[in-house]
Structure 1
């Protein structure tokens, strides 16, 4: 594994790689860092030389962390079961005609509403950016036009994660960031983190979390270990159960991508990846800087880590 990854880096096949951490059996088997232009959401950070202590945007891997936090809050009786009505959690908006929507539709991104995140995240026409610019992000999501039957088709929607984050906030009586810090990060031993807020003071559930790659890997190890009492094991199993088929192959659970070999993954813009492979006891955390340009660098190193024979290589 080490030789394959280093060969990829030496050949320049992952030019935008910022960080890579591989765990097997909970132990660090490989750790690499790079350098390059970086951003915190859309704020340029200039040229950054990354190391173990550098926080990095997770972008939409934040959503997968929100999925974990929801399970913690559910066990504490702070949030509704997934089958409960969604709009009922936001009575002040007086939204009508949406009684069919459940919390699970948000968890699985099957709300059936009009939503487009295909445009760059610097474009105000991008639905997530438009949500950030709206006077009330949650009203914006709930009032989007219905375009198809809920629960039938997965359609990428950062607004779904925003609603989940707000349900946690309301139930916990503190911000999503504060609740996650106390109930997830601190018990996990993660002391360096940042979860940005919008101009409205609301935690950006869909994309605002920043962690060190080694701590992102620790989150993956927590999933691999079945929650370790921090997240209920039953919720981990529910969260990673295939719920809806993805058009490009695989499935989606509760804010996690799933594949037929039991692999679970969080994916974020620019090449942010968290991959959990139970069959091999493997966790891979990747950060990169290809924002709005694809996943090339992260995929190159993941292919090197996960190619056949990786287990034997890593054991040497």
Structure 2
């Protein structure tokens, strides 16, 4: 298979040998078919695909870049940033900077969480991680809608402050409500607990061990990193995140994140307001039916426009797409549904 990245293949851990098997020839055929369609089909959503990387049974099986996008190009991973922030919180807990995700947010920001009402004082880090903090928040609206809190937060220039000052609408941990302000608060807690900027903490404890050398992180006027969607990475470096998660937090001979935290982060806590998915700690969880009558778990980090990292832990398989399909159909869900699920036994 062309475009195999030899260097990365040598670095990656071979996954759990007890996983289900995939017919390699069927997987190759599915990839080649997708590659051919993306290369030759002139429909706009195929022209908006930028990269596909497939990792299977301990090696990079396929890596290709499309439509002017290059291997070394940094790509804004959008809300996949949230999934990485959840991993960083796990590291902060593992290393004792934060006691646990069950701590109240008021411990770190008492000036915002003790002066309003009793309900807000009960919000925990776990509630932030599961999009169930209960804040008044609307972002599933057009970008130009004046009620779009995500855009209002961005325009404020003080993202953490905007997120912290929201009023309560629901009791925490009772309802999923997608809120890109929540990871801002998680990032703020990491910074307060570690006395490090979020990006510096990420570099020291995650990026350097994974040999992620090139990145860019969007910051507001205070120098605070956009923890909800502002990280730019190379697609292959995002694949490393997927391999780390599938390997239960281990990279080579190093346990970068505890297996306990990875299990927590990729467990289902409540249904989302989108499709059949449930939600972990900023990771999406789905049980998908297979043609043999069985089902399989898929864990994913997802960002607007088609930034998708799909992990099939039972099959030692990871598939990563980057796209520019913000207002057009995304290609990766079609590929998963029509080409990958049917070949899983």
Which TM-score bucket, shorter chain as reference? 0.7 to 0.9
Look up the match of 1:256. Answer: 283
- In the TM superposition, what is the alpha-carbon distance from 1:135 to its structure 2 partner? 5.9
Output the CA distance in 1 between the equivalents of 2:115 and 2:317: 44
2:316 aligned with 1:281: yes
How high is the TM-score relative to the length of structure 2? 0.81
Give the structure with higher Rg (CA): 2
Q: Distance in 2 between matches of 1:27 and 1:246?
A: 33
Which consecutive aligned stretches of 4+ in structure 1 deviate over 6 angstroms post-superposition?
A: none
Task: Give the one of 110, 113, 116 matched to 1:96.
Answer: 116
* Correspondence for 1:6: 35
Contact 1:271 1:297 in 2 (8 A): yes
Cα distance between partner residues in 2 of 1:281 and 1:27: 10
- Bigger shift: 80-89 or 211-220? 80-89
1:298 is matched with which residue?
332
1:70-99 CA distance string (max 9 Å, x none): 111111111241111112210233543111
Q: 1:55 to 1:304 in 2, by over 3 A?
A: farther
Q: Distance in 1 between matches of 2:332 and 2:186?
A: 28
Q: Distance in 1 between matches of 2:99 and 2:157?
A: 26
Residue 57 (structure 1) aligns with: 76
Q: What is the CA distance between 1:289 and its match in structure 2?
A: 0.9
Whole-angstrom CA distance in 1 between matches of 2:64 and 2:302? 19
Q: Which of 222, 231, 235 matches 1:209? A: 231
Which residue of structure 1 aligns with residue 21 of structure 2? none
Deviations 1:93-136 (A, max 9, x none): 35431112111110000011121112344666421221123364
Judged with a 3 Å threshold, the aligned counterparts in structure 2 of structure 1 residues 156 and 91 are, in CA distance, closer, same or farther, namely same
Rate the CA distance shift 1:85–1:295 in 2: closer, same or farther, 3 A. Answer: farther
Q: How far did residue 302 of structure 1 move?
A: 3.8
Q: Classify the secondary structure of the residue corresponding to 2:331.
A: helix
RMSD (CA atoms)? 1.9
140, 152, 164: which one aligns with 1:142? 164
**CA pair 305-22 structure 1, distance change in 2 beyond 3 A:** farther
- Structure 2 CA distance for aligned equivalents of residues 162 and 124 of structure 1: 21
What TM-score comes out, normalization by structure 1 length?
0.88
The answer for unaligned runs of 5 or more in structure 2 is 1-29, 288-295
Cα distance change on mapping 1:203 and 1:230 into 2, 3 Å: same
* Match 1:218 to one of 236, 240, 247: 240
Match of 2:154 among 132, 143, 163: 132
Corresponding residue SS for 1:296 = coil
User: What is the 5 A alignment of 1:238-249?
Assistant: 238-247=264-273, 248-249=275-276
Of 249-258 and 78-87, more deviation after overlay is shown by 78-87
Candidates 56, 60, 77, aligned match of 1:24: 56
Q: Which runs of 5+ in 1 are unaligned?
A: 36-48, 312-316
Per-residue deviation, 1:221: 0.4
The SS at the match of 1:262 is strand
Count how many residue pairs are aligned between Structure 1 and Structure 2.
Answer: 297
Q: In structure 2, what is the Cα distance between the partners aligned to 1:289 and 1:75?
A: 36
Q: Does the Cα contact within 8 Å between 1:8 and 1:300 map onto a contact in 2?
A: no
User: Secondary structure of 1:215's match?
Assistant: helix
